[in-house]
Structure 1
Amino acid sequence: MAEPFKMALPSLMQHLGVLEDSSLVRSEKVGRVRTYKLTQETMRVGEDWFVRQRTLWERRLNQLDSYLLEMKEKENGKD
């Protein structure tokens, strides 16, 4: 199971445990087989948060870009 990720199985299981603790995945064990599934609602909440953060940072970076362009124009006007 861990081979495609180039990590040891205990490390992969630890990562899956963190994802399960944060409700991003849930697992079900039947016999010796444990199946993991994404938790859609939690993933949706996370996606919404990322969209809000991206929007915020895009606005801030656009403001910084405008400010720097303004400063450059002022500096070029002094020459």
Structure 2
Amino acid sequence: MSVSGEEGGRRSDERFGFRIARRGYDRDQVEAYITRLREGAAPAGSVAFDLVRRGYARGRVDEVIAQLHREAGSPGRP
């Protein structure tokens, strides 16, 4: 039996669905950035997140943000 929010034994965030990595992007920073993107308020320039213990897995966050930028027609990338 698996616990809600787990994928293959690894926890994932329930709100955004990103896997929690041993070392990854700061979750609060990622969530705030994606929320702004979804509201149409993407900051200019490239984005950078702090690396922290138990942060979001970087690869998937990069993919999602790149997709959101493509959909919005903006050039920013993590």
**TM-score, length-normalised on structure 1?**
0.31
Task: Indicate the structure (1 or 2) with the bigger Cα radius of gyration.
Answer: 1
Which structure has more RCO (C-alpha within 8 Å, separation ≥ 6)?
2
Select the structure that is richer in helix: 1
